[in-house]
Amino acid sequence: MTQPSGSQGNEGIVVVGNGMAGSRFVTEMRERDPRVPLTVFGAEPQQPYNRVLLSNVLAGAARPDQIGLVDPAWYAAHDVDARLGVEVTRIDRRARLVYSGDGGVTPYGTLVIATGSTAFVPPIPGTGDGLPAGALVFRTLDDCRRILEAAGTTGRAVVVGGGLLGIEAARGLAGRGLAVTVVHLAGHLMERQLDPGAGRVLARTLARLGVHTRLEAQVSALRTEPVPQGDDVGGARTPSQGQAARSGADGGPGARVTGVELATGEFLPGDLVILACGVRPDVALAREAGLAVDRGIVVDEMLRSVTDPSVRAIGECSQYGGTVYGLVAPAWEQAAVLADLLAGTDEAARFTGARQITRLKAASVELAAMGETQHGDEDPEVEVVQFADPARGTYKKVVIKDDRLIGAILLGETGTAGMLTQLYDRAAPLPSDRLSLLFPGVNGAAVSDSPVRMPDAATVCHCNNVSKGQIRACWEQGARTAEEVAARTRASTGCGSCRDAVEGIVCWLDEQEAAPAG
Cα separation, 236 vs 255, in Å, equals 9
Q: Do 259 and 299 fall within a single domain?
A: no
Task: Give the whole-angstrom CA distance, residue 359 versus residue 119.
Answer: 20
Do residues 32 and 45 lie in contact, with contact meaning Cβ atoms separated by under 8 Å? Answer: no
Q: Where are the alpha helices (DSSP H) in 346-481?
A: 417-426, 468-476
Taking CA atoms, 499 is separated from 109, 446, 460, in Å, by 39, 21, 9
Give the domain CATH number at 228.
3.50.50.60
Q: What is the pLDDT, as a whole number, of residue 242?
A: 32
CATH number (domain holding residue 398): 3.30.390.30
**To which H or E segment does residue 403 belong?**
none
Q: Answer yes or no: do 466 and 404 share one domain.
A: no
Note the pLDDT of residue 379.
81
- Domain count for the chain, please give it: 4
Dihedral in degrees, nearest 10, Cα atoms 208, 209, 215, 218: 150
List the domain range (segments joined by +) for residue 457: 450-518
Residue finishing a domain among 404, 421, 441 = 441
Phi, psi torsion values for 197, nearest 5 degrees: -60, -45
Helix 499-514 to helix 468-476 angle, to the nearest 10 degrees? 50
Domain boundary (227, 260, 279) is at 279
- Give the largest Cα separation in the chain, rounded: 80
Whether residues 229 and 296 fall in one domain? no
State pLDDT tens for residues 132-179: 999 999 999 999 999 999 999 999 999 999 999 999 999 999 999 999
- Do 26 and 62 lie in a common domain? yes
Give the single-character DSSP code of 452: T
Pairing mode, strands 110-113 and 13-16? parallel
pLDDT for res 489: 85
Cβ neighbours around 356 below 10 Å, total: 15
CB 437 within 8 A of CB 470: no
Q: Please say if the pLDDT value at position 204 is more than 80.
A: yes
SS3 labels along 42-85: ECCCCCCECHHHHHHHHHCCCCHHHCECCCHHHHHHCCCEEEEC
Residues 219-231: pLDDT tens digits?
A: 999 999 987 765 5
Is the per-residue pLDDT at 334 higher than 50? yes
Q: Are residues 146 and 271 in the same domain?
A: yes
- Say yes or no: 288 and 275 in one domain: no
Domain boundary among 279, 303, 332: 279
In a domain, 236, yes or no: yes
DSSP 8-state symbol, 211: E
Residue 199, SS3 per DSSP: helix
Query: 230 with 208, same domain?
Result: yes
Residue 123 burial (CB count, 10 A): 12
pLDDT of 287 reads: 98
Report yes or no on 359 lying in a domain: no
Q: Indicate whether 415 belongs to any domain.
A: yes
Question: Does the residue 405 lie in any domain?
Answer: yes
Query: What confidence tens digit (pLDDT) does each residue in 65-87 have?
Result: 899 998 889 999 999 999 999 99
Residue 315 falls in which region: left (phi positive, over 0), alpha (psi -120 to 50) or beta: left
Q: Are residues 149 and 59 in the same domain?
A: no
222 and 327 co-located in one domain: no
Of 419 and 342, which is predicted with more confidence? Answer: 342
SS3 509: helix
**Model pLDDT, residue 255:** 87
Report the Cα 411 to chain-centroid distance in Å: 19
pTM confidence score: 0.85
Q: What is the pLDDT of residue 2?
A: 36
Distance CA 88, CA 100 (A): 4
